[in-house]
Amino acid sequence: MSRPKLLFVTRSRYWRPGNGEATRTAALIEALAAVCDLTVFFPERAEDSARACVEAAPHRYRLAAGNVDRPERAGVLAAMQSLCRQLAPDVVLLSRLQLDFLRRAVPPGVRRVMDTHDLVSDNAAARRREGADVPEPLEFAQEMAFLGQYDRVLLIQPDDHSRVAAALGERALCVPHPVLLPAQPVRPDSRVIGYAASQWVANRHGLQWFFDRVWPGLKGARLDLAGHIAACVADPLPPGVVRRGFVPDIADLWCGMDVAINPVRWGSGLKIKTVEALAAGLPLVTTREGARGLEDLAGHAFLCADDPAGFAAACQSLLDHPERRGALGAAAHAAARARFSPDACFGALFDWLQAV
């Protein structure tokens, strides 16, 4: 069976790990390269590390990068039209709705796919609830009008998928993010809370809420900050807080933690660090936003609380009772292996591509 020719367009510097969008994009590119004749179009200038990432990839693909740092839309559109003429792709996949303007460059007869990452309208609504700035004030009906122009729309979690499928039918595909990690051991005599995150503004907001409202009430704990979020906290650090910084290896990232947290207060889509913590078999305490798309696992594979007292009580209970950590972590690891294997995440997309 011939491999479909797919042109994947992204503005994510996916070769730089450390944030959810880059992690998701890199995983999808790796999966597509295994089953497609894949070209990735990155409209901006790419640094040398991008080429190194392509050369180290387990499956061959081509990276077509721009030659300026901040290209104008007209230039990106022209480059996209040129690539389509050169490659004659069977499928064009645009990563994020912000690239919808490139739909005009896709020739008639070529299948169009949008990878949403999350719903822009959900993000806008969540920002409004928390009093945050809303840079893209899109309503759900408006977003569906855009997405209705595509042959397939990829949704990263079940709730997003069910709502979009109600509007678009079989064109909506649920394509979560795959993560398989070894389970972390229970350390009965250790009491380390771990928070791994990027510098995304909602992560910074959630960490400040945790510092102000939760951390002062916890007893006998250490808090490790991993990822780029650590650089956002000014010195002197609060008592008991340790800055680990960026950890490039995902398995190493979750080592040395006894309880993981994700105190994010607003956002949309699937929280990649929530999935990674579950996949690492760590007992997790998060908010409703951090659990978005995984609500049915709350109380079984992780603990969920939105108020400071409830969040603190959940953390303290796990710190004080290693046997609870073990039971919750085992359930988390089992749930992640069932839901976030590559086959479970990419199977529906691969089936559709085989039929193109």
Same domain, 281 and 350: no
Average pLDDT estimate for 242-256: 94
Taking the C-alpha atoms of residue 317 and residue 158, their distance in angstroms, rounded to an integer, is 30
Residue 161 lies in a domain: yes
Same domain, 125 and 216: no
- Whether residue 41 is predicted with pLDDT greater than 60 in this model: the reply is yes
Residue in 49, 62, 54 with CA at minimum distance from that of residue 26: 54
pLDDT at 232 over 80: yes
Measure the CA–CA gap between 147 and 180, rounded to whole angstroms.
30
Mean pLDDT of 231-246: 94
Q: How far apart are CA 68 and CA 344, in angstroms?
A: 38
- Residue 187 located in a structural domain: no
184 within domain boundaries: no
pLDDT cut 90: percent of the chain above it? 95
On whether both 45 and 81 belong to a single domain, the answer is yes
- Beta strand 222-226 pairing with 152-155: unpaired
User: Do 283 and 332 belong to one domain?
Assistant: yes
Residue 320 scores a pLDDT above 90: yes
The answer on pLDDT for 133 being more than 90 is no
- In terms of Cα–Cα distance, which of 33, 29, 27, 24 is closest to 5? 33
Residue type, position 208, single letter: Q
> 141 and 198 share a domain?
no
Q: Is 27 helix (H, G, I), strand (E, B) or coil?
A: helix
Q: Starting at the earlier edge strand, list the strands of the sheet with 111-115.
A: 62-66, 37-45, 5-9, 91-95, 111-115, 152-155, 172-174
Chain centre distance of CA 194:
18
What is the pLDDT averaged over residues 253-277? 96
For residue 73, what pLDDT band results from cuts at 50, 70 and 90? very high
Contact 44, 70 (CB under 8 A): yes
Percent above pLDDT 70 for the chain? 100
Give the pLDDT confidence score for residue 134 in this predicted structure: 86
Cβ within 8 Å of residue 252, ≥6 positions away: none
In angstroms, the CA 163 to CA 155 distance is 10
Token pair in block for residue 258:
């006894």
Assign residue 331 the CATH number of its domain.
3.40.50.2000
Contact (Cβ atoms closer than 8 angstroms) between residue 192 and residue 258: yes
Q: 251 lies in a domain?
A: yes
- Rounded CA-CA distance 127/202 in Å is 9
Average model confidence (pLDDT) across the chain: 96
What 8-state DSSP symbol labels residue 226?
E
**Residues 299, 348 within the same domain:** no
Look at residue 74 and tell me whether its pLDDT is greater than 90: yes
Residue 53 has pLDDT above 80, yes or no: yes
3 state DSSP class of 79: helix
Q: pLDDT of 86-115, one tens digit each?
A: 999 999 999 999 999 999 999 999 999 999
Tell me the one-letter amino acid at 158: P
How high is the pLDDT of residue 132? 84
Tokens of 219: 């007893």
Q: Record the pTM.
A: 0.94
186 found inside a domain: no
> Can you give the pLDDT at residue 129?
87
Residue with tokens 């387990």: 58
Q: Is residue 314 part of a domain?
A: yes
The number of folded domains in the chain is 2
Q: Do 205 and 152 belong to one domain?
A: no
DSSP label at residue 102: G
Same domain for 138 and 203, yes or no, is no
pLDDT at 1 over 90: no
46 and 142 share one domain: yes
Q: What's the distance, Cα to Cα, between the start and end of the chain in Å? A: 11
**Residue 120 falls inside a structural domain:** yes
Residues 133 and 275 in one domain: no
Please tell me whether residues 172 and 314 are part of one structural domain.
no
Is residue 30 a contact partner of residue 57, using CB atoms and an 8 Å limit? yes
- Shared domain for 289 and 149, answered yes or no, is no
Dist. CA 207–CA 195, nearest whole Å: 9
What pLDDT is stored for residue 149 in this prediction?
A: 98
- The residue range of the domain holding 102 is 5-178+342-354
CA–CA gap between residue 133 and residue 302 (Å, rounded): 30
Quick check: 13 pLDDT over 80? yes
Mean pLDDT of 174-180: 96
| Preceding omega of 236 cis (within 30 degrees of 0) | yes
List Cα–Cα distances, 203 to 165, 265, 271, 287, 344, in angstroms.
Answer: 29, 8, 11, 12, 28
Q: Is 183 contained in some domain?
A: no
